[in-house]
Amino acid sequence: MAVSVGIDKLVKAFGAFVALKEVSVEVLPGELFFLLGPSGCGKTTLLRCVAGFHRPDAGRILIGGRDVTDLPPYKRDAGMMFQSYALWPHMTLAENVAFGLEMRKVPRPEIRRRVREALELVHLADRAKARPNQLSGGQQQRVALARALVIKPQCLLLDEPLSNLDAKLRLEMRMEIRRICKQAGLTALYVTHDQKEALSVADRLAVMRDGVVEQIGMPEEVYRAPSNRFVAGFIGEGNFVEGLVDGTGLGGVSVATTYGPLKAARAPAGLAAGDRVTLCLRPESVRFEPPAPGTPNVLRGRFLESVYLGEVAQHVIGLSPAGGGGGAAFKAFELNPLAGRDRAGEPAEVWVAPEQVIVTKD
């Protein structure tokens, strides 16, 4: 399959600090590919290497099959959208969008046509003569996006483009960016630390840690089958329970834990009895209805606190170990809860279906 952006064993160091450690990523044509991870993981460094603002110490960067590793930014056929938008305040929206085409000496009639098309794509054609200070934050973001895509780049590079917007606008613009990129047929490499943003917009994503790619996959794959404990904890919330494998088979795997045996329907290949594993139980997978006799993965304890949020109640349960004594705090989300019911102090008996138990090796 053709690759739009190829990153091959990229290394980048700043003095003694190695920001990227032989990172390899392939982005397919028309794909929205997200780089996700905590601050300092290397995702922005990787994006800036692709853009040409950082020169890698080793490895290659290909855009549209062409090796651009040693080319300056303006020769890479990539459009960049920054956090700050960087719009010229003295120019109209049309003039801002046209700037890149003018620098490329595109004929005037074609500039007008492409600027009009770009502004129509972001639903701002009727504001072409306005200036940036007359626009909302979301509208300024759309102008910056139009300016990046009007040059028809091989790929669009976005560095946390929603970070300067308020929470409501961020939600609105997530799908707007996806719509615009898909409608324009753009390949996009998008940096964020926001898990919800990545899960809701990306076609595929890469989770990074300390300059290394931990896992690449579709959002649902990374969420439901994380490759290790770090990925499981970074993508969404989880309760982590350590244990030893005491049985494997077609029905999944059984793990001996402090809270009794816990069963998982799926597990990584190669597990054997006695292996140490970590189970991840997502708070939203916890079931509150009374378990039927023989139901696996029943956990008992006492509600420590409850927070009612309307559509969901967030509970913290103090689990009771199988052998007695103090247990760990366990998060559980109850959908469509009884209004205002504070369950703190009540005994708790909850369970998790084996299909919802995630097994990781570390």
- pLDDT category at 325 given cuts 50, 70, 90 is low
Q: Which residue has the higher pLDDT, 83 or 139?
A: 139
Residue 326 is predicted with a pLDDT of 62
Q: What pLDDT is stored for residue 94 in this prediction?
A: 94
Q: 244 with 150, same domain?
A: no
Inter-residue contact 93 to 144 (CB < 8 Å): no
Same domain, 44 and 163: yes
Domain stops at, among 213, 230, 247:
230
The count of domains in the chain is: 2
pLDDT tens for each residue of 104-134: 889 999 999 999 998 998 889 999 999 999 9
**Sign of torsion, CA 25 26 30 31?**
negative
Domain range for 334 is: 237-360
Residues 351 and 320 in one domain: yes
Domain end marker among 203, 230, 257: 230
Residue 80 has pLDDT above 90, yes or no: no
Percent of the chain as helix, strand, coil, to the nearest 5: 25, 35, 40
Q: Does residue 32 share a domain with residue 17? A: yes
Q: Are residues 217 and 284 in the same domain?
A: no
DSSP letters of 189-226? EEEES-HHHHHHH-SEEEEEETTEEEEEE-HHHHHHS-
DSSP 54: S
Confidence at residue 324, expressed as pLDDT on a 0 to 100 scale = 61
Query: Are 219 and 299 members of one domain?
Result: no
Q: For position 1, what pLDDT does the model report?
A: 57
Higher pLDDT residue, 286 or 84? 286
Dist CA 107 CA 110 (whole Å): 5
Do both 198 and 312 map to the same domain?
A: no
Last residue of a domain, one of 171, 199, 230: 230
Q: Check pLDDT > 90 for residue 225.
A: yes
- The DSSP bridge pattern shows strands 17-27 and 312-319 to be unpaired
Among 17-26, 137-146, 349-358, name the one with the lowest average pLDDT: 137-146
Tell me if 79 sits within 8 A of 103, measured CB to CB.
no
Summarize the confidence of residues 129-145 as an average pLDDT.
88
Are 223 and 249 found together in one domain? no
pLDDT in tens, 250-259: 678 999 999 9
Structure tokens, 315: 């509970």
How far is 322 from 329, CA to CA, in rounded Å? 15
CATH number for the domain harbouring residue 178: 3.40.50.300
How far does Cα 275 stand from its chain's mean position? 30
- Assess whether 154 and 220 both reside in one domain: yes
Question: Does residue 180 carry a pLDDT above 80?
Answer: yes
Same domain, residue pair 246 and 218:
no
The answer to whether 54 and 12 are in contact (CB under 8 A) is yes
Do 189 and 329 have their domain in common?
Answer: no
What is the three-state SS of 240-307? Answer: EEEEEEEEEECCEEEEEECCEEEEECCCCCCCCCCCEEEEEECHHHCECCCCCCCCCCEEEEEEEEEE
State the number of CA atoms in the 13 A half-sphere of 65 facing the CB: 3
Instruction: State phi, psi for 235 to the nearest 5 degrees.
Output: -90, 95
Check whether 276 has a pLDDT greater than 80.
yes
- Alpha-carbon span 66 to 359, nearest angstrom: 41
Residue 360 burial (CB count, 10 A):
21
> Which pLDDT score is estimated for 327?
72
Where do the DSSP E strands lie in 82-203? Answer: 155-159, 188-192
Whether 23 and 172 map to the same domain: the answer is: yes
Q: Provide the mean pLDDT of the chain.
A: 91
